[in-house]
A and B are shown apart, each in its own frame.
Chain A
Amino acid sequence: NAGVTQTPKFQVLKTGQSMTLQCAQDMNHNSMYWYRQDPGMGLRLIYYSASEGTTDKGEVPNGYNVSRLNKREFSLRLESAAPSQTSVYFCASSPSGRAWETQYFGPGTRLLVL
């Protein structure tokens, strides 16, 4: 049972480059999330998708776009990377998106923007 998988595990970008972080879950969950974690900061929600076909902004959406490709996959795109986007990115999923539900996290993608 793979749970939540993320690719790549690590990426180095130059300022202005673009990239897409991939996330997939095999638990048939309706809701999926993208977080970032910076040193000394808690997890901050970038975007979430309550169900297939819907996406909504979280706390820190600027500089990012998302696509809920299907029920399994939720991708995060950086169109023009900036050093401030250096962070660890976590994807998560939950059955139906209620605040009390357990969220299941992937292992994270470490992104360094030079």
Chain B
Amino acid sequence: DQQVKQNSPSLSVQEGRISILNCDYTNSMFDYFLWYKKYPAEGPTFLISISSIKDKNEDGRFTVFLNKSAKHLSLHIVPSQPGDSAVYFCAAGYNAGNNRKLIWGLGTSLAVNP
């Protein structure tokens, strides 16, 4: 039972266009959402996050949108660059006292073509 779902295993876009990566979650307790990027043979690196009290967070070319009613978030990359080609993981978490939970999606492999 996947609590965090990235339904598109892969995505291909042209350089300069927008990349939209989607993530759905099922657990209403999640109150923080993060996106990580992973290149081959490297560990994931943090990209951008958003808390449940916001519906948008922007950092340069990267924007994350959160729709709590739909339990859906998306990562927009504008404009896409070849160096953005990587696997993107969505993760959702909550804190409940000493109980910390961070659940990861399966990832979406993004290819940005020159």
Chain A interface residues (CB < 8 Å from chain B): 4, 40-45, 48, 50, 90, 92, 97-100, 102-108
Contact B106 A99 (CB under 8 A): no
**Smallest CB separation, A16 vs chain B (Å):** 28
In this complex, the interface size class of chain B, counting residues with CB under 8 Å from chain A, is: 20 to 34
Contact B106 A41 (CB under 8 A): yes
In the complex, what distance in Å separates the CA atom of A83 from the CA atom of B41? 21
Of B43, B45, B51, B106, most A-chain CB atoms within 10 Å:
B43
Q: Which residues of B contact A102 (CB under 8 A)?
A: 34, 46, 49
Which of A48, A97, A98, A107 interacts with B41 by CB under 8 Å? A107
With A40-B106, A42-B89: A99-B101 Cβ-Cβ less than 8 Å: yes
Contact A43 B94 (CB under 8 A): no
